[in-house]
Amino acid sequence: MQLKLTLFAICLFTMATYAQTNEIFHLWPDAVPGESLPKNQSRMNNDPRDIVLRVTEVTDPTLTVFEPKSNSKNGAGIIICPGGGYQILALDKEGFEIAQWLNQLGFTAFVLEYRVPDKREGALMDAQRALRLVRSQADKWNLEPDKIGIMGFSAGGSLSARASTNFNIKTYEDVDKSDEVSCRPDYTLLIYPAYLDRGENRSITPELKVDKSTPPMFIFATADDPYANSALVMATTLRDAQVPVELHLLPFGGHGYGLRKGSEAAETWPLLAEKWMKKVLSHNLKP
């Protein structure tokens, strides 16, 4: 019990540290479209038995910026969508920790706090707005506008897939000039994605409209993950549409491991993803 209390204290301290040292900006300057509740600070789980920082309610979506050292920047940015079943956000395990890893590779990372719980339409608005804001302000972070990607875990993988296949759908009215730029990600990474196989006979979810304009994707899952069919269905649909896709399926690992040590899956996917992202940035996705 003492260990869990200590870990929980570390989670809270980490959250406070990020709030002080990382730029956080709000997606919506005025009213949040489609949101019935007033803007409030995000609520977090305060259960000391939980070693994951769980955000339980978001009504004022934000992006937290993680910048690498200036001499290591590669000109690319990635928006990170944590998972949590569209009910909560695993903000540290599938957000902050991922951003720090990406910084080591030279990427500028943006952790998205999208709307929860159970606000899938609002979450897509948030993802589209985040992509437009980052692309329209690329100069601010020394980014190249055609190197803005999205990455998601579990339900965040679902959201990333939705943003990657529904970028031509206008989900909200323009707020400012940022909304004049494209919200199409230039590349997408789906790590143990969920909810992509909600079509008939576990086929692709009808909402996901894949065609040749869909960005290239990296997909990683394990066979013993109850959501593994999402990865398989998505990869097959991309292949059929002649969209570059790289799929990795390990036999074991389950679901929700992030970067945390203890499984082969958690140690394998980052190495494969790093190699794939180098191909994306060099515009070379062929063997």
CATH match of 2-281 with 3.40.50.1820: yes
Closest-CA residue to 190 (of 217, 167, 223): 217
Map out the domains of the chain as residue ranges.
2-281
Closest-CA residue to 72 (of 93, 98, 100): 100
Q: Note the pLDDT tens digit of each residue in 207-248.
A: 999 999 999 999 999 999 999 999 999 999 999 999 999 999
Residue 14 in this model has a pLDDT that exceeds 80: no
262 CB-contact burial (10 Å; exposed 0-12 / middle 13-18 / buried 19+): exposed
Q: Note the pLDDT tens digit of each residue in 155-172.
A: 999 999 999 999 999 999
H/E stretch holding 56? strand 54-57
Closest-CA residue to 51 (of 7, 85, 83): 7
The structure's pTM equals 0.92
Q: How far apart are the first and last CA of the chain?
A: 50
Percent of the chain with pLDDT over 70: 91
Residue 193 in this model has a pLDDT that exceeds 60: yes
Q: Note the pLDDT tens digit of each residue in 15-65.
A: 445 545 799 999 999 999 999 999 999 998 766 656 789 999 999 999 999
Percent of the chain with pLDDT over 90: 85
pLDDT band at 2; cut points 50, 70, 90: very low
Q: Note the pLDDT tens digit of each residue in 88-105.
A: 999 999 999 999 999 999
What mean pLDDT comes out for the span 128-156? 97
Residue 259 in this model has a pLDDT that exceeds 50: yes
